[in-house]
Structure 1
């Protein structure tokens, strides 16, 4: 079985492709440039030689002796050519052949240096019975030649053709110059190919060095974990540096996401373990001896149902948190009225908690933000629900809507237990509760503010908290302001938003 190997750039390294491409481009440019020069010089020299031939042909066909009809007198012709300065000075290495009107060659005139050319028969390039000038440029034995013929007209009427003159120019100087030029270009081409290959290799090595470094960095990340980063040069601002920056940023995000997911799983496992253990304890109690005791049976069933409801709520909150993390990727965006939504939530809480006082201070009206109405309502409910839960007897919650530059601010303040300074920054963490025992009694899982934070940040907003123990807590939600035109406002009112 024979293996046929074929050259394919697809299976080659990028450095080889770059070297080959750069070398090929440089060499091709040199080749085309050299070819153009070669053809240009050749054409220029050929035109110059053709002018010499035409000039000699014109002088010969206009000679009075030839026009008088003495074409078969060799001695007279030799004397004419030798003594005619206009012919002898131009003949050089050219050969003059004389033909009669029938196309029969009568004689040749040439210098001794052109003996070799004169020994050849060029009658095959002669075209009889024509009054026009005929020029041929054949290549004989590897050398280009120039053969031109013209009619000799009678001296009496200057129209009757009595013979022909054929000028054979071996193009000696032209062939020598073009041969040397071709050899020089071949040598220069070989040098250019070598230099272009070296330049291509150096360029490829220089350009691919950052890619090699990037590939090594990616390999280190794969082997050593997400903590590894690729160093970037501050001086360079090319696409590879930009790719490195994007890669580092992507690794940072992946690392952060990985740590968050790890922490989330740990926290979720811890939170789910408690209700599971409680339910397991009650079920074991029932299995041992509680089945026959109605009081123990009822207590265990109630406790199990309570913990089951807590697990159900925890799972729902975890699902809400997962959806909140993806809110920035949603395509169902809408412009929502902040004033109307805050007022709607305030009224709902007045109905649910009749013993509370909910005040709303609208420092600016007609404020809008690019956020889904249900999402804005959800995060407001989360914050309001916490304010009610931890009011600690202070049955009052203040709400405020204001504009701050190009931002919309919604502030919700309660006058309850408050949060200590060392814990205020942690309230937005998942599963974090300031007073875990008390929060559990109130049914909290520590996910509400985490969901609110994800929702707000998904819409390019911020959420912050300020508090003092025993004096209450203030939550501030900030969203980018969206200006609405009159037509959109009317449409919004029509839709009931």
Structure 2
């Protein structure tokens, strides 16, 4: 396998904490190693330069000493110059004096060995420093004492320099290794601390997978960073999913309950007909009439459930002139309920447009008016009026019906909720009409409110935002 591919797979298989620790350790180590290398090169160059300066100073002192002796030089003269001798000994340098043929005449401080005479580069005047050898620095100078012509040779060992360089290099390597381990450990601890909310989030997700929505989100994280935003988004998403799941469960339970009743009624009448009603015209007509009514009730219920499901998914909101479509719905209901009186108070300006589809608005106003007529004493009297504010269009539908008790007002928009189940069933209601109305209005960014007094009637107020061009 390709080493690069293997390395990528190895990194991909590690946890985020290990990746974080490894990345931080690598970055810190490389940064420290780069700085150490630069510092080592600079320090080595500076120290070597110091060694060259020591050689240069010694050669200057030697050349000056020889020039000051005139035509004669004795061993006693050399020994008398204690400062120069002490400096040579302390620097561990070795000095020798050669004649023109390379024969050694004098040696001071025998601590080093010299290279062969025939391999030495001699200067034409003064002295020459040779730095080509890694173990020492050598220098050769021309000496003239009367009729004596020769050379002075200096050998400056680099043992102390190399020891210092080795010590510095070892120390830097140890510090680099320690920085690698320390940065890896600190990176792992820091990653564990910073990623703890994500670990808690994973545990919560595992609980949701294992137990559903039974457990609530228990992550405590107050920082306003990316992880905090992620947790907030997750909490919001889970709340919506939980609410949707609970609504779905409740919807299925309610729908099953609502469908069970008409099915049982039809089943009972079919059983009655099967036993003895098929030969009795009166029982047969009554049972078939009731069964057909219940089948129609089930059909209406299923249609409204499908409409509710479709409405929750469709968010299309084209502009609609609500006054125009209110008139159409009133004409339609007047034919169905000829005894009902629907008072329509038209606004001063007939064009009142809101962002909602015409079908949706017709369904809203049809449901509200049908309920108002259904729950009013005959002849029903319903009044529709409009109000336009700088930001909203308000539609009021007021009836003089039986009204709604205070304890039921907040629940009438719940699915399948009925104030009086027996009366509602007899009047043909399914308990979904107002739920559909509320859903459609909220899809149009509007709201609906109701004020009711038992025995006197109810007023439904629908509020829609005004179009931007009308502002």
TM-score normalised by the chain length of structure 1: 0.73
Give the Cα–Cα distance (whole angstroms) in 1 for the partners of residues 253 and 173 of structure 2: 74
Note the C-alpha offset of 1:186: 2.9
The question of 1:471 aligning with 2:456 is answered yes
| CA 1:449–1:485: 2 relative to 1, 3 Å | closer
Give the Cα–Cα distance (whole angstroms) in 1 for the partners of residues 346 and 76 of structure 2: 128
Secondary structure, in 3 states, of the residue corresponding to 1:388? Answer: helix
Note the C-alpha offset of 1:417: 1.9
Give the Cα–Cα distance (whole angstroms) in 2 for the partners of residues 402 and 292 of structure 1: 61
1:72 is aligned to none
The question of 1:357 aligning with 2:359 is answered no
The question of 1:254 aligning with 2:241 is answered yes
| CA 1:45–1:433: 2 relative to 1, 3 Å | same
1:23 is aligned to 25
**Aligned residues of 1:410 and 1:477 also touching (Cα < 8 A):** yes
The question of 1:440 aligning with 2:425 is answered yes
Give the Cα–Cα distance (whole angstroms) in 2 for the partners of residues 459 and 82 of structure 1: 112
2:182 is aligned to 195
Note the C-alpha offset of 1:227: 4.1
2:167 is aligned to 180
| CA 1:404–1:173: 2 relative to 1, 3 Å | farther
The question of 1:280 aligning with 2:267 is answered yes
Equivalent of residue 425 in structure 1, options 379, 388, 410: 410
1:453 is aligned to 438
**Aligned residues of 1:394 and 1:416 also touching (Cα < 8 A):** no
Give the Cα–Cα distance (whole angstroms) in 2 for the partners of residues 43 and 139 of structure 1: 13
Note the C-alpha offset of 1:212: 3.2
| CA 1:175–1:437: 2 relative to 1, 3 Å | same
Stretch deviating more after TM superposition (316-325 or 297-306): 297-306
Would you say how many aligned residue pairs link Structure 1 and Structure 2? 451
Note the C-alpha offset of 1:464: 1.5
**Aligned residues of 1:230 and 1:244 also touching (Cα < 8 A):** no
Equivalent of residue 462 in structure 1, options 429, 434, 447: 447
Deviations 1:49-92 (A, max 9, x none): 45666788999999999xxxxxxxxx99x99999999x999986
Equivalent of residue 231 in structure 2, options 218, 241, 244: 244
Note the C-alpha offset of 1:361: 4.4
| CA 1:80–1:426: 2 relative to 1, 3 Å | same
**Aligned residues of 2:317 and 2:444 also touching (Cα < 8 A):** no
The question of 1:37 aligning with 2:44 is answered no
| CA 1:191–1:365: 2 relative to 1, 3 Å | farther
Secondary structure, in 3 states, of the residue corresponding to 1:411? Answer: strand
The question of 1:343 aligning with 2:338 is answered no
**Aligned residues of 1:97 and 1:105 also touching (Cα < 8 A):** no
| CA 1:39–1:366: 2 relative to 1, 3 Å | farther
Secondary structure, in 3 states, of the residue corresponding to 2:215? Answer: coil
2:10 is aligned to 8
**Aligned residues of 1:15 and 1:201 also touching (Cα < 8 A):** yes
Q: Map residues 143-182 of structure 1 onto 2, 5 A cutoff.
A: 170-182=157-169
| CA 1:9–1:351: 2 relative to 1, 3 Å | closer
Give the Cα–Cα distance (whole angstroms) in 1 for the partners of residues 37 and 217 of structure 2: 48
Secondary structure, in 3 states, of the residue corresponding to 2:383? Answer: strand
The question of 1:380 aligning with 2:375 is answered no
2:255 is aligned to 268
Stretch deviating more after TM superposition (391-400 or 230-239): 230-239
Secondary structure, in 3 states, of the residue corresponding to 1:432? Answer: coil
Q: Map residues 304-323 of structure 1 onto 2, 5 A cutoff.
A: 304-323=291-310
Secondary structure, in 3 states, of the residue corresponding to 1:362? Answer: coil
Note the C-alpha offset of 1:347: 3.2
Secondary structure, in 3 states, of the residue corresponding to 1:400? Answer: strand
Secondary structure, in 3 states, of the residue corresponding to 1:202? Answer: helix
| CA 1:128–1:407: 2 relative to 1, 3 Å | farther
Secondary structure, in 3 states, of the residue corresponding to 1:428? Answer: coil
Equivalent of residue 229 in structure 1, options 200, 203, 216: 216
Give the Cα–Cα distance (whole angstroms) in 2 for the partners of residues 217 and 240 of structure 1: 15
